[in-house]
A and B are shown apart, each in its own frame.
Chain A
Amino acid sequence: MASGTITRKDIEAVVVQVLRDLVPSEDPAADPGPDTPLFGDDGALDSVGLVSLVVGVEQALEERFGAVVSLADEKALSQRHSPYRTVESLAEYASRQL
C-alpha cells in the first residue's frame, strides 16, 4: 500500500489519538509529549492498556492509510526494551515496519 506517503508525524498523531481514547482526560498521558512514558513504572498504561493501544494503532493505520502492518514484537512487554515505551519509540517502531 502507499506507505511512502505516511510520515512519522502522521504516525505520532495516530498514536496520540488512540491513547487519548484509552486514558482519562485528566491523565498526563492524554496530552503526551514524545517522551511521555506509556509503559513501565511511570507509564500510564497497564499491560491490557498497552495491548489496546498497540492494536488500536495497527487498526488506525489500516483504516486511515490502508497500511496493513504488524506491530507484534517479542520485547513488547519488556520494561526496559519495549518498542512501545513512549509515543516517539512506538511511532519510530511502526514507521520501520511500514
Chain B
Amino acid sequence: MSAPVTLITGTRKGIGRHLVGHYVKQGHRVVGCSRSPIDWTLPGYCHHVLDIADDAAARQLFAGISREFGRLDHLINNAGVAAMNHAMLTPASTVEKLLRTNVLGSFVFCREAAKLMSRARFGRIVNVTTVAVALKLEGEAAYVASKAAVLALTEVLAREFAEFGITVNAVGPTPIDTDLIRAVPKEKIDRLVARQAIHRLGTFEDVTNVIDFFLKPESGFVTGQNLFLGGV
C-alpha cells in the first residue's frame, strides 16, 4: 500500500507546522494550506495558499489532490482563529470572521474530504476544538461558540460519514505556546491552566499523540469523539 495522503489546514505556523513535520517524518505525502505564503519548504510536503472558507478555492484544491494522488486518507482541520474580548465590546465583524474560518472552513473541508475519501471507503477526519469550550472561558464567547459548533459538527458528521468508512473525531488542546495565545495576558493563561487537572501548558506532542490515535487504521471503531487535553 503506497504512502497515505494527509491534508492539514493552517500549516504556516504553530501546531499546523508541527503537524506537517510530524506526518512527513512518518512517511505521509502531506498537503497543507494557509492564507499567507510560507517561507519554508520540506521534501514530501506541498503547500497551497487559499482561504479555507472559500468554497470554489477548496473545490479546486481537492480536485488537484484527486488528480495528483487519486486518494485522500486523512484530513486535519487545524486552521483556526481566536479573538479575546468582552462580548459587549465585540464587533459583529469579529464574530463573522471566527465563524467563517473556524466553522465554515472546517465544514467545507470536511465535505470535500469526505467526497474523496468515500471512493476508497476509508477516511480519517480530525477537527480541532479547545478546552475553552469545556471551561466556558470568559473573554472568548465568539471563539468558544465557533469551536462548540465544530464539536457538534464532528458528532453529526461522524454519523453521516460512517457508512462511507470515514471516522470524524476532534482533539481539544489546552493553551499551547503559539501565536494563538500570544496576546493573552500571562495571569489569564495561569488561571486557565489552574483549572486543568494537570497544571501545565500543552505541547505539540500532546496533540499529535491524540491525532495519531485517531488516524490509525485500527481506530476504525472510534468516531464522533472529542478528546480534551489536560484532564479538562
Interface, chain B (partner A; CB < 8 A)? 55-56, 59-60, 63, 66, 111, 115, 118-119, 163
Whether B118 lies near A62 (C-beta < 8 A) is no
Q: Which partner residue on chain B sits nearest A72 by CB separation?
A: B111
Whether B115 lies near A68 (C-beta < 8 A) is no
Which residues on the A side are within 8 Å of B119 (C-beta)? 59
A38–B111 alpha-carbon span in the complex (Å): 23
Which residues on the B side are within 8 Å of A72 (C-beta)? 111
- Residues 41-82 of chain A, each 1 if its beta carbon lies under 8 Å from chain B, else 0: 000000010001001001100110000111010000000000
A47–B56 alpha-carbon span in the complex (Å): 25
Additional pairs, 7, CB under 8 Å, beyond known A62-B63, A68-B60: A52-B118, A55-B115, A62-B66, A63-B66, A68-B63, A69-B59, A70-B59
Which residues on the A side are within 8 Å of B118 (C-beta)? 52, 55
Q: B interface, by DSSP: helix, strand, loop or mixed? A: helix
9 residue pairs, one from A and one from B, having the closest CB atoms:
A68-B63, A55-B115, A68-B59, A62-B63, A70-B59, A68-B60, A48-B163, A55-B118, A62-B66
Q: How many chain-A residues does the 8 Å CB contact rule pick out?
A: 11
Whether B163 lies near A59 (C-beta < 8 A) is no
Shortest CB distance A67–B (Å): 9
Q: Which of A52, A68, A69 has the most CB of B within 10 A?
A: A68
Which residues on the B side are within 8 Å of A59 (C-beta)? 66, 115, 119
Which residues on the A side are within 8 Å of B60 (C-beta)? 68
Q: Which partner residue on chain B sits nearest A55 by CB separation?
A: B115
User: Which residue of B55, B66, B163 is within 8 Å of A70 (Cβ)?
Assistant: B55
Which residues on the B side are within 8 Å of A48 (C-beta)? 163
A52–B163 alpha-carbon span in the complex (Å): 11
Q: Which partner residue on chain A sits nearest B59 by CB separation?
A: A68
Which residues on the B side are within 8 Å of A63 (C-beta)? 66
A48–B164 alpha-carbon span in the complex (Å): 9
Shortest CB distance B72–A (Å): 12
19 A-B pairs in the complex with CB atoms less than 8 angstroms apart: A48-B163, A52-B118, A55-B115, A55-B118, A58-B115, A59-B66, A59-B115, A59-B119, A62-B63, A62-B66, A63-B66, A68-B59, A68-B60, A68-B63, A69-B59, A70-B55, A70-B56, A70-B59, A72-B111
Which residues on the A side are within 8 Å of B59 (C-beta)? 68-70
Which residues on the B side are within 8 Å of A70 (C-beta)? 55-56, 59
A69–B56 alpha-carbon span in the complex (Å): 8
Which residues on the B side are within 8 Å of A52 (C-beta)? 118
A72–B60 alpha-carbon span in the complex (Å): 15
Which residues on the A side are within 8 Å of B66 (C-beta)? 59, 62-63
A52–B115 alpha-carbon span in the complex (Å): 9
Q: Which partner residue on chain B sits nearest A52 by CB separation?
A: B118
Shortest CB distance A98–B (Å): 13
Q: Which of B56, B59, B60 has the most CB of A within 10 A?
A: B59
Q: Which partner residue on chain A sits nearest B114 by CB separation?
A: A55
